[in-house]
């Protein structure tokens, strides 16, 4: 066991959910601890031998060792002190071992005096939350959305000439192509990528060096600038000091920007998933515009039933992300005075949303979008039979007469073209030119 008495106390006090803060968060905390040690050595505050042992201990754990030693429940005392001390104690004890000492001999390496030197939970937890969220958005979520965007664009090109009926209010509208419909989905995903890229800019502002409440007490001159450089060099990122450290510790503006970008992304993806489910409904009593890949049996009782499983999965992930955003909102607006103490639940939900969205989007792109096909016979039939194709006649015969034809076609279950020919509205050739669904889909 590498954790100490403070972690053990927190472990006993908070037997709440069995859920732990994400491993990516722990990794970033270790990056911060090694950066603090390097900075304190350079500033002459930390003995080089002790500091190098701390750095080596962090490097070992960054590679994945001793991850079972981070044991504090997500639901814990505010601010995240238990998590910070869990990290401090594990790093200290491993550093002691590396110095050939016995674990617990804090005279050699102390969790507070050495590992936590120039730091507080209050500035480090905020900083690590932003570092971890930035890393996961950059490395996982944006690439997953990029994959989905690419698949939707490919499908837009692949199905570009297949005509279907557009729908508004769940009623027939005018013809369009699958290429147009899927280009809309692709562009919507691109908007999400751009919004998340903007959120990353807010996450790049770190309050490190503010220590307890933003004043920087016990950090020392030059520490804040130096550790920012150290973290940035290790992460290959251009982090910068929070424009106001007091604001960054009182109010989670960057976390809220990020959370709301995740919620906006979830809302957009949820709408796309809903459309896929609706367009794929059937096969005999629904829209049946598209044929979704059959990834698994859809029923334990009805043989041959195939459900839109991947779209349903994405729906549920989006619901969870929207709920996580509500939790973050409540935690952020419940902060008081110099510190928001609800950072553990903010960090957990933020990273949870990024993780499940990343996985869900990648899976949806690979197992659903990549294999979707248009039901061409069905969609072209719908396009020709829709009474709303009469919209194209309005410039020639007026809105009222076109509306009358649309209603009669609907009532008699006839397509508009045949009804107009029957009524001798104009020549067959002229009607075919005006009512050509492919021409109508182009809008000219």
Which residues fall within 8 angstroms of residue 171, CB to CB, at 6 or more apart?
A: none
Question: Rounded CA gap, 201 and 196, in Å?
Answer: 9
Q: Across all residues in the chain, what is the average pLDDT?
A: 95
**Looking at the predicted structure, is the pLDDT value of residue 41 above 70?**
yes
**Looking at the predicted structure, is the pLDDT value of residue 300 above 90?**
no
pLDDT in tens, 392-414: 999 999 999 999 999 999 899 88
Q: 435 preceded by cis ω (within 30°)?
A: no
**Looking at the predicted structure, is the pLDDT value of residue 443 above 80?**
no
Answer with the residue of higher pLDDT: 240 or 385.
Answer: 240
pLDDT in tens, 76-123: 998 999 999 999 999 999 999 999 999 999 999 999 999 999 999 999
Do residues 287 and 280 lie in contact, with contact meaning Cβ atoms separated by under 8 Å?
Answer: yes
* Percent of the chain residues topping a pLDDT of 90: 87
Burial of 105 (0-12, 13-18, 19+ CB in 10 A): middle
CA atoms within 13 A on the CB side of 190: 10
Q: Concatenate the DSSP letters of all residues of 349-390 into one string.
A: HHHHHHHHHHHHHHHHHHHTGGG-EE-HHHHHHHHHH-GGGG
Confidence band of 293 (pLDDT split at 50, 70, 90)? very high
As annotated, the residues of the chain forming the CATH 1.10.275.10 domain(s) are 5-117
Quote the pLDDT of residue 376.
92
Quote the pLDDT of residue 301.
87
CA atoms within 13 A on the CB side of 288: 13
Domain 386-442 has CATH 3.40.50.720: no
- Compute the average pLDDT of residues 216-222: 95
CATH no., domain 123-213+243-374: 1.20.200.10
- Compute the average pLDDT of residues 156-169: 94
Quote the pLDDT of residue 318.
98
Confidence band of 444 (pLDDT split at 50, 70, 90)? low
Structure tokens at 118: 């120039």
pLDDT in tens, 271-286: 999 999 999 999 989 9
318 alpha-carbon distance from chain centroid: 9
Which of the residues are catalytic? 299
**Looking at the predicted structure, is the pLDDT value of residue 441 above 90?**
no
Q: Nearest to residue 360, comparing CAs of 300, 389, 319?
A: 319
Q: Nearest to residue 314, comparing CAs of 158, 136, 138, 148?
A: 148
pLDDT in tens, 356-365: 999 999 999 9
Structure tokens at 374: 């248009």
Quote the pLDDT of residue 237.
97
* 105: alpha, beta or left? (left if phi > 0; alpha if psi -120 to 50): beta
CATH class of 5-117: mainly alpha
Please list the residues that pair with 45 across neighbouring strands: none
Question: Rounded CA gap, 49 and 142, in Å?
Answer: 41
- Compute the average pLDDT of residues 166-171: 94
As annotated, the residues of the chain forming the CATH 1.10.40.30 domain(s) are 386-442
pLDDT in tens, 306-317: 899 999 999 999
**Looking at the predicted structure, is the pLDDT value of residue 421 above 80?**
yes
* Percent of the chain residues topping a pLDDT of 70: 100
Quote the pLDDT of residue 297.
85
First vs last Cα of the chain: how many Å apart?
73
Lowest mean pLDDT among 58-62, 97-101, 191-195, 333-337: 333-337
């Amino acid at each position: 066991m590498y954790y100490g008495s403070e972690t053990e106390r927190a472990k006993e006090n908070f037997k709440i959910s069995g859920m732990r803060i994400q491993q990516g968060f722990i990794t970033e905390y270790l990056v911060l601890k090694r950066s603090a040690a390097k900075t304190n050595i350079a500033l002459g505050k930390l003995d080089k031998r002790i500091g190098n042992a701390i750095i080596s201990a962090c490097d070992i754990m960054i590679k994945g060792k001793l991850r079972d030693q981070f044991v504090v429940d997500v639901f814990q005392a505010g601010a995240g002190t238990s998590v910070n001390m869990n990290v401090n104690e594990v790093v200290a004890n491993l550093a002691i071992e590396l110095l050939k000492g016995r674990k617990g001999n804090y005279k050699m390496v102390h969790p507070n005096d050495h590992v936590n030197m120039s730091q507080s939970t209050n500035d480090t937890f905020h900083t690590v939350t932003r570092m971890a969220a930035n890393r996961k958005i950059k490395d996982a979520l944006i690439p997953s959305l990029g994959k989905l965007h690419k698949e939707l664009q490919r499908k837009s090109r692949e199905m570009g000439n297949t005509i279907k009926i557009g729908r508004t209010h769940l009623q027939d509208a005018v013809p369009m192509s699958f290429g147009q419909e899927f280009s809309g989905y692709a562009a919507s995903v691109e908007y999400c990528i751009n919004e998340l890229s903007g959120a990353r800019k807010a996450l790049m502002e770190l309050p490190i060096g503010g220590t307890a409440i933003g004043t920087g007490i016990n950090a020392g001159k030059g520490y804040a600038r130096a550790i920012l450089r150290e973290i940035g060099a290790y992460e290959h990122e251009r982090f910068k000091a929070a424009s106001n450290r007091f604001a960054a510790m009182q109010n989670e503006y960057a976390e809220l920007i990020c959370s709301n970008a995740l919620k906006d992304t979830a809302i957009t993806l949820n709408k796309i998933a809903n459309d896929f489910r609706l367009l794929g409904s059937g096969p005999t009593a629904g829209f049946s515009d598209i044929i979704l890949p059959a990834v698994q049996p859809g029923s334990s009782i009805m043989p041959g039933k195939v459900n839109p499983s991947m779209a349903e999965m994405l729906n549920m992930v989006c619901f969870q992300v929207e709920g996580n955003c509500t939790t973050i909102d409540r935690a952020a607006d419940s902060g008081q005075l110099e510190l928001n103490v609800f950072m553990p639940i903010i960090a957990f939900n933020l990273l949870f949303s990024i993780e499940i969205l990343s996985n869900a989007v990648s899976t949806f792109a690979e197992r659903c979008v990549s294999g979707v096909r248009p039901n061409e016979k069905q969609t072209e039939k719908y396009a020709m039979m829709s009474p709303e194709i009469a919209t194209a006649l309005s410039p020639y015969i007026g809105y009222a007469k076109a509306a009358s034809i649309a209603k009669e076609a609907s009532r008699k279950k006839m397509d508009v073209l045949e009804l107009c020919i029957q009524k001798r509205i104009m020549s067959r050739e002229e009607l075919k030119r005006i009512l050509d669904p492919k021409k109508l889909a182009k809008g000219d």
